[in-house]
Structure 1
């Protein structure tokens, strides 16, 4: 049986580790910030302590068994309502997935510390901080490389073909992922959709200007 002091130390360590991750979320002004992450980490730690050591007297009774993992499993599934709330709070726009994941992992850290796995809980905290802070620029760089831009154009029928686009764009033609030609709203016109990948906003603007040099080609104002 642990002493009261050691139990309190586990709670304090859980609060500290949870605050480190909460500060990173607080810096980005997310609703689930410092206090939320600290509460989740301390709460899960307390549940683990209660599950493992809170029924010591009951265990002295005959034919009594204890399975501390049952509470841990309930924490893992129960933390989902907080994660869902951090996502649904953004309305129709799906945001907050990373914050929901951080809440889930903070609960796991609390369980680890509550179970006495100090080194594992601390290592997991710094790994999560590394993922949240250091990996973000890499993720942003990758997304910028595969960023998509869609150009909507109107041209006389059979004027803007894929062959013509490749000629005008030159080496940049490899950035064309999709080329769709449909019947335009007016007779003898085509509605052309060109999807570009691995293209910055400035590059997309340059490509658009190149395509507009083709006689009769215009931006589809109705699609703006």
Structure 2
């Protein structure tokens, strides 16, 4: 019991109908958390969840302050119920209680809510960071429900640093990349998309769009390629490789802008 000295326990006798400190049931303590401690844990969970939720709310994500508060408070309550809600069952003989079983379901059960925050449009996936924040807020709630206030507070600080502090660094990295659209003119039927993709030699996430259309006169094909996350040096190399492809007549950069068109869903 030394590891639980910080928890305000009450012990209830299996035979007596009242609560008194130090009573045992079958030589085992029947632990009940005090009402004041329950209230404190739920309020702390709501506070920590709101801090993370505010960071998401200011970026206008669907999962904002209320969602994160509810997740954190709910996870905290699951932990409290898991640890203390079945204590009366210990009065019976040969009864073994696993206090982590109900709380463990939060880890897997929170996934459906995180999935609702993820949006996929083509190859662009947004909302992954918000889904991860919901998952971590559930972990904070479990920590608070278990009485690990320091761990919950420290995790909240670390999460806020990751969400708010690391994002400018991430955006600065992306600012060094460019998004461009290339217009390629080639002899009709001479260039296959597979050959152009091989010449581009890009990662799948860098190739946003690839369209081949025949010119009205039928003498040439017009190929439009949209690319993202490329440096100026990479684009120059791409243009040179495309011009070397047999059948390609011209390669033109029709638009270019700083930044990333893909976004990571933060």
Query: Any conservation in 1 of the 2:56–2:65 contact (CA below 8 Å)?
Result: yes
**Cα distance in 1, alignment partners of residues 34 and 250 from structure 2:** 80
Matches for 1:1-224 after TM superposition, within 5 Å: 1=9, 2-88=33-119, 94-154=125-185, 178=200, 185=214, 187=219, 197-199=230-232, 217=250, 219=252
Q: Which moved more, 1:108-117 or 1:63-72?
A: 63-72
Deviation at 1:143, TM superposition (A): 2.2
Query: Any conservation in 2 of the 1:145–1:198 contact (CA below 8 Å)?
Result: yes
TM-score, length-scaled by structure 2: 0.60
**Cα distance in 1, alignment partners of residues 112 and 53 from structure 2:** 18
- Give the unaligned 5+ runs of structure 1: 158-176, 209-215
Instruction: Decide which structure has greater strand share.
Output: 2
- Work out the number of aligned pairs and report it: 188
Deviation at 1:29, TM superposition (A): 1.3
Deviation at 1:190, TM superposition (A): 8.7
**Cα distance in 2, alignment partners of residues 104 and 14 from structure 1:** 14
Superimposed CA distance per residue, residues 144-191 of structure 1 (whole angstroms, 9 cap, x where no aligned partner): 33444342232689xxxxxxxxxxxxxxxxxxx9389xx995548896
TM-score, length-scaled by structure 1: 0.71
Aligned CA distance change for structure 1 residues 10 and 179 (closer, same or farther; 3 Å): closer
Aligned CA distance change for structure 1 residues 146 and 4 (closer, same or farther; 3 Å): same
Query: Any conservation in 2 of the 1:26–1:34 contact (CA below 8 Å)?
Result: yes
Query: Any conservation in 1 of the 2:180–2:253 contact (CA below 8 Å)?
Result: no
Instruction: Decide which structure has greater helix share.
Output: 1
- Give the unaligned 5+ runs of structure 2: 1-8, 10-32, 189-198, 203-211, 240-248, 255-266
SS of structure 2 residue aligned to 1:94:
strand
Query: Any conservation in 2 of the 1:44–1:110 contact (CA below 8 Å)?
Result: yes
